[in-house]
Structures are given as structure tokens and as C-alpha cells.
Amino acid sequence: MRQRHSDYMLWAKTQSRAKFNLATSGVGSFPLRELSVTIDQLEINGDSTYGYAPLQHAIAKKCGVDPDCVVHAAGTSMANHLAMATLINPGDEVLLEQPTYELLTSTLLYLGAAIKRFSRSEENGYALDPAEVRRVITPKTRLIVLTNLHNPSSVLVPELALLEVGELARSVGAHVLVDEVYLDAVYINTPRPSFHLGPEFIVTTSLTKVYGLSGLRCGWILAQPDLARPMWQLNDLFASIPAHPAELLSVIALENLDQVCQRARKIVEHDRVLLAEFLSNHKSVSTPRTEFGTTAILRLVNGNVDQFLCRLRTEQETSAVPGCFFELPNHFRIGMGVDTEMFREGLKRIGKILDTTSK
Ligand SMILES: Cc1ncc(COP(=O)(O)O)c(C=O)c1O
């Protein structure tokens, strides 16, 4: 039986919320009124076939690519699905980082991939180690999948490591899919999309996590035109045509992306300072220090994570994501960038439970 569900999404949609919600992964919502859109800029129906031209151009401009290399999709979720479903057939060998975002695993299982894992180990600070990819790659490998920034750790992959992985992929005729939904949270010297590193690279991303514009479902794939075309055609079997008002709003958002980004950046940067202080004061959790990103994965040094999260919720009205969704059963993930007061209070409450767990 093929997998037809995601345990993580079910949990996220039904059980993640709490008064102090640290189970988030992206920044808080950007309010529509701050985009200063007027009703006459919107319309119900429009000229959207294989893309809406103004949106194709706006995405292409942001990414420094030709519009023919852009496939607009419903969020990074659909971008990942379309990209993987176009690139692989059932039974194909796919290399997937471990730990990773659960939906990448679920979607690959749904597509019938033969998944092999390469480790981004905690001991190695969750770094992408090309030697690990070399260890598992075979002439049968069709696709290598990873996240940058890494979900759950927010670790940034250096360009050199990506180039090495690209070279390995090329040597066996495989592609590299890089989910870059968190990459624009690198606010200083933001790396260019890895699409620019070679024709074997395919990138997926969206305006959701870093910009707080999830409701627009503006995601996209960057791929060479000969791959972009079949991705568009596969999309005809799914969403086919996006909601046009969302396309129009996405064009406006892309024109004002700096303003949208700055709002979230302030909150993320405040929260990251709070996280650093918290980690310095609590040796009962450990995590690699990162400079950027909206998530951190914390190891609980002593005690049971399920019991810890249960107490956190019932005694302290605070939620975090169980590490089991990332195949890290001794860990939990927390999110930044929504509301600094909520984050401060959430950390304080985590600290209260930690203080009683570690004694
Ligand atoms: C690595 C990764 N990719 C994709 C997504 C989904 O993004 P979107 O909301 O754009 O579909 C998430 C959401 O948490 C994610 O963490």
C-alpha cells in the first residue's frame, strides 16, 4: 500500500496550537492592510494558463532566472510534489537527508520512491557532508533531496558543499532538489538560489515561511525549461489553475518584498537573541548554534520528550513539535518569528519544566 497521508501535517493541523505556540515554523502573518492594495488592483478571473505572465516575470526577476525556468505552484508543498513526481518513477532510487522535513519523506513514499538516507548528524552539527552522499549514491540514483536552510535545525549549507553534491549527482545522471523555503531568512549575504550552481539543480520555495504570506500559496520551482514544461503539464492533473486574486496579490507582494521581509526580520532577530540567552542558561537542552532561521531543534539531555511536551502543554499552555516527526525522538523543535512576547513567555515556560525535569 502506498502512503497517502502525512502524520506530521495531521498533527500540525489538529494538535500544534497552544496559548504559547512554539510549534510554528514560519514567521507571523503579514497583514493585507500593510500591502496597501486597492480593490481596483484585484480581479476574480485573469489570463492564467501555464503561469500568469506578470507573476512569472516577478518571480524570475527575484531569482535572477529566465521566466521559462519558473513553475508557479501552490506553496513549496505542491512545488516539491510536482518536482519529485516529474523527476522520478515508482521504484527509482532517491537519496534523502536525515533528519528532514516529514512531508518530503511522505511524498516520496507516496510516489513509490526507493528511499536511501544520507546522514546530517547531530554530532556534525547537522552539516551537509558530501562524503555521506558519496557513501550512498549509486549509478541507479535518480534524485538527491535536501533542505537549505535545514529543517529542523536551520543550518545553512555552504555553496561548496552544494557544488560537491551537484558533481556527485552529475556523475550518475541524477538531479539535486533543494527545498529553499527558509533560505531568505539569511538576511545578510543571502545566498543565490542553488539553481544557479548547475543544470542538475532544481529549487523549490515560496513566500510562506520567511514572509508571512502563506495564504497566497505563492510557491515555485526553478528548473531548466525542458523540465519546467512537464512540471506544468503534470500540474494540469492537480490544481491546474491558481486562484487569480492570489496571483495578483503575489505580484504586489513581490514588488514590495523588502518591506514584507523587514517586518518579519525584526521579530526573528529579537527571538534569536532570546534563544541564544536561553541556551546559555539551560544546559539541560543542547542544539548547534545557528545564525539564521526560524526553527531550532533542541535535544533534551535528560528525560523523556513525550512526557516533557505533555507537561509543557498541560501545565504551561505551551507547544513545541515532537522530534519524532524528524526521526529525532530525544528532541523537540521550536519556532521563532511570530511574536516576541509569546516566544519569550514560551521559553520561560519551557525553562520551568526543564528545571523540574532535570532534577
Ligand atoms: C522544508 C519545508 N518545505 C516546505 C514546507 C511547506 O511550505 P509551504 O507552506 O510553502 O507549502 C515546509 C513547511 O513547514 C517546510 O518546512
Local mean pLDDT, 10-residue blocks, the chain (359 residues) = 94 98 98 95 97 98 98 98 98 98 98 98 98 98 99 98 98 99 98 98 98 98 98 96 97 98 97 98 97 98 97 98 98 98 98 85
Cβ–ligand 1 contact at 20 (below 6 Å): no
Mutate to test the pocket of ligand 1, among 10, 13, 77 (most ligand atoms within 8 A of CB): 77
Contacts of 135 (CB under 8 A, 6+ apart): 118
Contact predicate 95/143, CB 8 Å: yes
Contact predicate 162/203, CB 8 Å: no
Contact predicate 48/244, CB 8 Å: yes
Mutate to test the pocket of ligand 1, among 102, 181, 211, 238 (most ligand atoms within 8 A of CB): 181
How many Å apart are CA 218 and CA 75, to the nearest integer?
A: 5
Q: How far is the CA of 357 from the centre of ligand 1 (A)?
A: 32
**Other beta carbons less than 10 A from residue 77's beta carbon:** 22
Cβ–ligand 1 contact at 75 (below 6 Å): yes
Phi, psi values for residue 202, rounded to 5°: -125, 135
- Nearest residue by C-alpha to atom 13 in ligand 1: 25
Q: How far is the CA of 208 from the centre of ligand 1 (A)?
A: 8
- Ligand 1 atom closest to the CA of 214, numbered from 1: 9
Mutate to test the pocket of ligand 1, among 208, 221, 295 (most ligand atoms within 8 A of CB): 208
- Ligand 1 atom closest to the CA of 79, numbered from 1: 11
Q: What predicted TM-score, i.e. pTM, was given to this entire model? A: 0.98
Contact predicate 209/181, CB 8 Å: yes
Cβ–ligand 1 contact at 319 (below 6 Å): no
Cβ–ligand 1 contact at 295 (below 6 Å): no
How many Å apart are CA 273 and CA 277, to the nearest integer?
A: 6
Q: How far is the CA of 170 from the centre of ligand 1 (A)?
A: 27
